[in-house]
Amino acid sequence: MIIKLEQLNATETEKALSENELKVFAGLAKGIVRLSKDSFAVVLKVASWKEENRFPALDLLRHKCLHLTGSEISVEELVPVLVSNMAAGDTNAMLAVAALSNLISKQHHKSVDAIDALEKMSELLPSEHKKLEISISTFIHNLSIHLTASTDGLESLELHILILSTILTTLHPLVKQVESEERLLVTLGNILHSKQQEIIDLAHSMDVHQFILKVEPRVKGELVKEVKTMLNISMDGIDLE
């Protein structure tokens, strides 16, 4: 990455890194420099380069989002950088979404505006960039595990509804990869596992049958069977309610 960074740095005129800043970035990438206020400023500088050049910063943040313990940088400082780069081309968007997924996986979900993030991610599809599509499905999967598991009552119900509606009305008609479909199916199972009747009824009203018909020939049969059971749908597709 460092050789590539130096090559990209040579094409930047107004925001080129100094020799010391290049060493700081290299140290961050190798894990020998802490993510401090000063070193984060170097990352932000790279993240402000021309869109085609800024991916090293986003790739670095993708990794750092898994190891924020002891960092001087808060999640609240990271999220706007990642969200803004979802509109900076497919590669940058993929890295930004992957970084947000990593934040969610580490239970930093309360610092991420789920509604805003999902709306922006939905606008990125359909995409020919396979990893971008899979990163989006991973984000909503991680959200279903960590966000809904830590909330109660009305807020939990609202989050379940958000995830369900995003899968059934927005994402599933647009995704093409089997891995994406499988993660969406697992996510659906995660929120149905709460056994909230409102969620089950809403899923039927949103024609969850069409989603299952689409993915059933392509994903693991045991996943389909489990989700159908939670929805009270027989294996031949008959609604048992």
Q: Mind listing the pLDDT tens digit for each residue in 148-206?
A: 555 555 567 888 888 999 999 989 889 999 999 999 999 999 988 878 888 889 999 99
Cα 34 to Cα 62, 68, 89, 155, 160, distances in angstroms: 15, 10, 29, 36, 37
Average pLDDT over every residue of 25-40? 92
Question: pLDDT at residue 108 above 90?
Answer: no
CA distance linking residue 21 with residue 27, whole number of Å: 10
pLDDT for the residue 148: 53
| pLDDT given for residue 240 in this prediction | 47
What is the average per-residue pLDDT within 6-14? 91
Say yes or no to pLDDT of 83 above 60. Answer: yes
CB 89 within 8 A of CB 55: no
| Cα dihedral 152, 195, 174, 136 in deg (nearest 10) | 40
* Mean pLDDT (the chain, rounded): 87
Binning pLDDT at 50, 70 and 90, where does residue 235 land? very low
What pLDDT shows up at residue 234? 57
Share of the chain above pLDDT 90, in %: 51
User: Over pLDDT 70: what percentage of the chain?
Assistant: 91
